[in-house]
Amino acid sequence: MAGRVVALIVTLLTLGPLALVAWRAEGGWGADWPALRFTVTQAAVSAGLSVLLAVPVARALARRRFRGRGALIALLGAPFLLPVIVAVLGLLAVFGRSGLLNGALGVAGLPNVQIYGLHGVVLAHVFLNMPLAVRLILQGWQAIPSERFRLALSLGFGPRDIARHLERPMLREVLPGTAVVIFAICLTSFAVALTLGGGPRATTVELAIYQALRFQFDLGRTASLAALQCLICAAAVLLAMRLSVPPGFGKGLDRVVAFAPPGWRRIADALVLMLATLFIASPLAMIAARGLPGMMDLPQAVWAAAGRSVLVALGSTALTVAAALALAGGGRGMGLMATLPLAASSLVMGTGLFIAIWPFIAPERVALPVTLLVNAVLALPFAYRILAPAMGALRADYGPLADTLGLRGMSRLRWLVLPRLRRPLGFAAGVTAALSMGDLGVIALFAAPDGPTLPLLVQQLMGAYRMEQAAAAALLLVLLSFGLFLLFDWGGRRGSDL
């Protein structure tokens, strides 16, 4: 019941603004086919590659124990949370024309590599999303009950048999959902695609929306492009739901058995982990190096903005996690509603909300509450994707027992759901909090000039030529988001031996 109410609210907040924009339009529908083709291509390639690369990394993390493993898993949360422009500058510091890679190639006497183009867009999207995919897939690995591994080992299964009977069925459930989330994120990519795509060849639908709404003030075109984006996303979600099959492992007794095949697989795992760490950590290190010099003389306004952002993030987190729990408890059909916000153009959402709010109250007065709500909706797909598989397993494994015992409502939440889902709940809350810190979303349209959030302030500093201070404020933003993420994630992993 709660699930249905939440689904209704989320759908209303996602599609309502779009409908309002369409309602204000005066005729004129239109599409942009070349932009559509490029958008879908880059999103599909980015999602496919992210997931493909994430599988060996997640497998290595699942079956090896080493010093710094926890830190590495935490670090995986970082790239995904970066504000777009910060991520782009960090990537360029490594892969750009005067970046580390080309510096090293130059020393070795090798020709330079050029980042701008479709491959650059894909590189950036893989950097941003592959770590998220690793976390989601790793969760799948950890959800295979250890008894199944034990049984497999006692039957004399080799790594190949284990892959066939345990790992592949698990991947079959997890991969489609993971890929579709990343596909939807990349679908609305705009600044990354244009900047690293190297020019107008890399026009995405979101840029066309931006142009239609702001320069042409063509609300009909805006609404039709946004609707197109939602349709593509919905099609991808439905496809993923058909492909995804629950593995049906049954429940276990929560003990971890590390299945760690020796020999060349050990070396391969080490290599995979080293390469992944290098790929993720080097742009992050460059971002830190850029921001540090300015950290000492940050303007006063930065701290007030940081306070506002943390508050918004915490509020969004509470809303999102509660909503995601309700949706995840509502069964498989909720997947579509829970993923749709990803495809919503934040510009269209902001404009629609503006049309809705404007007749009643000055938008500036509700800037922060609106930001909180919108961030909560935009983060919901991630929280849902993290919680849904665990919640499904919980229902299959413990549902009948709980029903027999008459364990319902709050007591079911307290005695069954919260203890069993501690780990994914912590991870989901962490991702939501960090996302709501970083997401610019719609705040710009509503912003009260004397109350910017931290991401908006970073943008303002850049607009006032203050690139060094902007880099420092961006680093603060990253540190705060990552701090919030770590806090929740650690809280979830601690005291959970799952």
List residues binding another protein (CB under 8 A): 24, 85, 88-89, 92-93, 96-99, 116, 190-191, 194-201, 203, 207, 210-211, 213-215, 217, 290, 299, 301, 308, 311, 315, 351, 354-355, 358, 362, 364-365, 367-369, 372, 444-452, 456-457, 459-467, 470
For the chain, the first-to-last Cα distance in angstroms comes to 29
Question: What is the smallest separation between the CB atom of 284 and another protein, expressed in angstroms?
Answer: 16
Question: What is the smallest separation between the CB atom of 463 and another protein, expressed in angstroms?
Answer: 4
In Å, how far are 77, 152, 264, 374, 388 from 282, measured between CA atoms? 15, 39, 27, 32, 32
- Indicate the residue among 200 and 293 with the shorter CB distance to another protein: 200
> Quick one: residue 443, left, alpha or beta (phi over 0 = left, psi -120 to 50 = alpha)?
alpha
Question: What is the smallest separation between the CB atom of 53 and another protein, expressed in angstroms?
Answer: 25
- Indicate the residue among 70 and 200 with the shorter CB distance to another protein: 200
Q: How far apart are CA 386 and CA 383, in angstroms?
A: 5
Buried b vs exposed e over 395-425: b needs ≥16 C-beta within 10 Å?
bebbeeebeeeebeeeebeeebbeebbbbbb
Question: What is the smallest separation between the CB atom of 89 and another protein, expressed in angstroms?
Answer: 6
- Indicate the residue among 211 and 277 with the shorter CB distance to another protein: 211
Among 209, 231, 245, 173, smallest CA distance to 21 is for 209
Structure token pair of residue 447: 């912003």
Helix residue spans in 143-167 (DSSP H): 146-154, 159-162
Question: What is the smallest separation between the CB atom of 485 and another protein, expressed in angstroms?
Answer: 22
- Indicate the residue among 139 and 371 with the shorter CB distance to another protein: 371
> Quick one: residue 406, left, alpha or beta (phi over 0 = left, psi -120 to 50 = alpha)?
left
- Indicate the residue among 78 and 92 with the shorter CB distance to another protein: 92
Question: What is the smallest separation between the CB atom of 115 and another protein, expressed in angstroms?
Answer: 9
Question: What is the smallest separation between the CB atom of 365 and another protein, expressed in angstroms?
Answer: 4
Task: With beta carbons less than 8 A apart as the criterion, state whether 179 and 243 touch.
Answer: no
Among 377, 491, 375, 357, smallest CA distance to 443 is for 375
Task: With beta carbons less than 8 A apart as the criterion, state whether 182 and 129 touch.
Answer: yes
Question: What is the smallest separation between the CB atom of 294 and another protein, expressed in angstroms?
Answer: 12
Q: How far apart are CA 30 and CA 95, in angstroms?
A: 37
Amino acid at 492: G
Question: What is the smallest separation between the CB atom of 200 and another protein, expressed in angstroms?
Answer: 4
- Indicate the residue among 290 and 412 with the shorter CB distance to another protein: 290
- Indicate the residue among 120 and 131 with the shorter CB distance to another protein: 120
- Indicate the residue among 7 and 368 with the shorter CB distance to another protein: 368
- Indicate the residue among 139 and 346 with the shorter CB distance to another protein: 346
- Indicate the residue among 99 and 176 with the shorter CB distance to another protein: 99
Question: What is the smallest separation between the CB atom of 21 and another protein, expressed in angstroms?
Answer: 10
Helix residue spans in 163-263 (DSSP H): 168-187, 191-197, 205-214, 219-243
Q: What is the rounded radius of gyration, in angstroms, for the C-alpha atoms of the chain? A: 23
Report the half-sphere exposure of 275 (CA within 13 A, side-chain side).
13
Give residues with Cβ within 8 angstroms of 195, minimum separation 6. 88
Among 97, 185, 190, smallest CA distance to 133 is for 185
Question: What is the smallest separation between the CB atom of 387 and another protein, expressed in angstroms?
Answer: 26
Question: What is the smallest separation between the CB atom of 410 and another protein, expressed in angstroms?
Answer: 21
- Indicate the residue among 264 and 465 with the shorter CB distance to another protein: 465
Number of H helices, E strands in the chain: 23, 0
> Quick one: residue 470, left, alpha or beta (phi over 0 = left, psi -120 to 50 = alpha)?
alpha
- Indicate the residue among 301 and 486 with the shorter CB distance to another protein: 301
